Amino acid sequence: MKVNHAEIVISAVSKKQYPDDLLPEIALAGRSNVGKSSFINRLINRKNLARTSSKPGKTQTLNFYRINESFYFVDVPGYGYAKVSKKEREKWGRMMEEYFQTRDTLRAVVLVTDLRHDPTQDDIQMYDFIKYFDLPVIIIGTKLDKITKNKRQKHINRAKQVLNIDEADIFIPFSAEIGDGKDEAWSALSQYIKR
């Protein structure tokens, strides 16, 4: 996929702010600091359109990035960051539920997990949440560059096993740093971004 155009359209906190041009949407989901924003940047070849940070909790709103005027990547705040208050966690839950439950243009979810570690309880919950809403999911095992080559397959198998992913679901080892998995990710997404 050749990206000629990418722009942030809105950082939304509620439904009334979502874009209304009815383009298909791909949402990112994953732990705070796992690399969701970096995934978007790597796919669209932009260093920092989606704001990234080495500190968790950078993305706090639903950020709608319009790509080639034909679809959106929706960057969402991460979960599982220990320093978040109960009140903030509830706010996150309401925002996510509102989006997942009511968004007709949401075509698929990219669930990003850290390939270095086993998926967390929160990752498992998120996977189940996506399944509950009957949404297609593409699982990205990121930070592949941080795992030595001879250990990679073992980590991939573990991630699939711990998440208990359906046979039919796609799992892609990925590195935002190096670019591994980029073509595979675009090809997995292609069926969902057609108008």
> What is the binding site for ligand GTP (CB under 6 A)?
30, 32-38, 52-54, 56-59, 77-78, 142-143, 145-146, 175-177
User: Which one of Mg ion, ligand GTP, none interacts with residue 103, CB within 5 to 8 A by kind?
Assistant: none
Rounded to a whole number of angstroms, the minimum distance from the CB of residue 77 to Mg ion is: 7
Binding site for Mg ion (CB under 5 A): 37, 58-59
User: Which one of Mg ion, ligand GTP, none interacts with residue 136, CB within 5 to 8 A by kind?
Assistant: none
Closest Cα partner for 28 from 139, 90, 111? 111
The Cβ of residue 43 has, within 10 Å, a number of other Cβ atoms equal to 25
Rounded to a whole number of angstroms, the minimum distance from the CB of residue 76 to ligand GTP is: 8
Rounded to a whole number of angstroms, the minimum distance from the CB of residue 94 to ligand GTP is: 17
Burial (CB count within 10 angstroms: exposed 0-12, middle 13-18, buried 19+), residue 137: buried
Kindly give the pairing relationship between strand 71-75 and strand 6-12.
Answer: unpaired
DSSP element (H, E) containing 109 = strand 106-114
Secondary structure (3-state) at 170: strand
Rounded to a whole number of angstroms, the minimum distance from the CB of residue 155 to ligand GTP is: 13
Both tokens of 147, joined, read 């795992």
Judged by beta carbon, residue 69 or residue 130, the one nearer ligand GTP is 130
CA atoms of 127 and 85, how far apart (whole Å): 23
User: Which one of Mg ion, ligand GTP, none interacts with residue 142, CB within 5 to 8 A by kind?
Assistant: ligand GTP
Judged by beta carbon, residue 136 or residue 141, the one nearer ligand GTP is 141
Burial (CB count within 10 angstroms: exposed 0-12, middle 13-18, buried 19+), residue 5: exposed
Rounded to a whole number of angstroms, the minimum distance from the CB of residue 195 to Mg ion is: 27
User: Which one of Mg ion, ligand GTP, none interacts with residue 138, CB within 5 to 8 A by kind?
Assistant: none
- Residues 31, 57 contacting (CB under 8 angstroms): no
User: Which one of ligand GTP, Mg ion, none interacts with residue 175, CB within 5 to 8 A by kind?
Assistant: ligand GTP
